Structure 1
């Protein structure tokens, strides 16, 4: 199972050993030596799961976890603590802050990998359930007689941690409902299910990049609706070869809600 995993561990030898084991299993890994560095790395790396030690300098695992759960983008990211401090009191403290699981030291790597796989399967299950819920809302909306004269919903395919308030609010003001999905590899499945008034794709989705999603898609190019590429950081934007496939690029770090509203309104 391919996924991005953040490893936060202050002991270099343990950190390197964990990275080696995870990369051997095909995971993409980034690391930090304490909770403060970990928070910065997580916001940049956008992991699908976090492994973190508890006892660390500058900011411990509990402080890192509390900060992370206060960030809208990472409230549901699975967090697994790696620690020898796994007695009942520490487990209860971690659970109250929102930790998902514990793996004790010395690390049993077979158990660690099984824990990671189980948590990632749970993330996938929740993603599928959310997509099914969005589809039900779409069907409910489009089944109303008064909607026959209204615009069809927009399709948004974006990474789960991306802040999309500017786009969502602009669509709401324009009276355009939307369906939000997170797996770029399923783009054709979404397009086959229903017709949409516009398509928004973030540069990175939960499983593939926008570039890969377009390469795999048989329907995107022939779908004749406005298309928008959503990027998070205009300075760090990469892989620009596929940008010509879109009517407009929306950079969330520079565009204000009024700007997004103006861009979308021009094509609706």
Structure 2
């Protein structure tokens, strides 16, 4: 049974989420603040539903911290569930790396379809190790990225040009399906393809 973490400050919404999602066969934990949500990540949920407007730490700040500090394994879906329907909020959420954005009032049929799809996609990512292949040079470059080195540092260490380093980084990011070099390094480390 998939375990969902709901970070939502409205007790009535929490109660409704628990009722509906539990009836759909999910395990559900709820917390009423951003700080409590960050602490609850230790329980390793399979998916996170998070409001943006929270009393202490915003949902944007939570997602930023999760991505910056690798508080969730790669592939654990993060979905915003919010009353903010403005394009600017949705754009900011996508730029921070959320997997989906659902607006209130909640269409539970849609939400459940999104959750099931995201969980199925996350399960598929578990098979990526056999599919994701790095060349030796891509592996070397990402290993040094994981150790905090810049492209120019890596070029010096490996005795190649910075342009060549960036070429290998671009290839590795494309193969890993991520937007940044750090995300590529984290993903490949978690799949055991590099050892930082």
> How does the TM-score come out when normalised to structure 1?
0.48
User: How do residues 221-240 of structure 1 correspond to structure 2 at under 5 angstroms?
Assistant: none
Question: Does residue 62 in structure 1 map to residue 60 in structure 2?
Answer: yes
Residue aligning to 2:177? none
Residue aligning to 2:49? 51
Question: Unaligned regions of 5+ residues in structure 2, if any?
Answer: 136-190
Give CA deviations for 1:69-95 in whole Å, capped at 9, x if unaligned: 123241522110011112210011111
Residue aligning to 2:79? 80
Contact map agreement 1:9 1:53 (CA 8 A) in 2: yes
Question: Does residue 96 in structure 1 map to residue 58 in structure 2?
Answer: no
Give CA deviations for 1:57-77 in whole Å, capped at 9, x if unaligned: 011111111111123241522
Determine which structure has greater relative contact order: mean sequence separation of CA pairs < 8 Å that are 6+ residues apart, divided by chain length.
2
CA distance in 2, matches of 1:136, 1:58: 42
CA distance in 2, matches of 1:129, 1:20: 34
CA distance in 2, matches of 1:113, 1:68: 23
RMSD of Structure 2 on Structure 1 (CA) = 2.1
Contact map agreement 2:7 2:30 (CA 8 A) in 1: yes
Contact map agreement 2:65 2:71 (CA 8 A) in 1: no
Question: Unaligned regions of 5+ residues in structure 1, if any?
Answer: 138-178, 181-268
Contact map agreement 2:4 2:27 (CA 8 A) in 1: yes
User: C-alpha displacement at 1:136, in angstroms?
Assistant: 11
Question: Does residue 25 in structure 1 map to residue 24 in structure 2?
Answer: yes
Structure in which a larger fraction of residues adopt helix: 2
CA distance in 2, matches of 1:51, 1:100: 10
CA distance in 2, matches of 1:66, 1:136: 28
CA distance in 2, matches of 1:36, 1:136: 38
Give CA deviations for 1:91-143 in whole Å, capped at 9, x if unaligned: 1111111111011101010000000011011101111122x248999xxxxxx
Contact map agreement 1:69 1:75 (CA 8 A) in 2: no
CA distance in 1, matches of 2:73, 2:128: 17
Structure in which a larger fraction of residues adopt strand: 1
Q: Do the aligned partners of residues 136 and 70 (structure 1) sit closer, same or farther apart at CA in structure 2, a change above 3 Å counting?
A: closer
Q: For residue 74 of structure 1, give the secondary structure of its aligned residue in structure 2.
A: coil
**Structure with greater Cα Rg:** 1
User: How do residues 110-149 of structure 1 correspond to structure 2 at under 5 angstroms?
Assistant: 110-130=109-129, 132-133=130-131
Residue aligning to 2:38? 39
Count matched residues.
136
User: How do residues 208-223 of structure 1 correspond to structure 2 at under 5 angstroms?
Assistant: none
Give CA deviations for 1:222-267 in whole Å, capped at 9, x if unaligned: xxxxxxxxxxxxxxxxxxxxxxxxxxxxxxxxxxxxxxxxxxxxxx
Q: Which runs of 4+ in 1 moved over 3 A?
A: 133-137
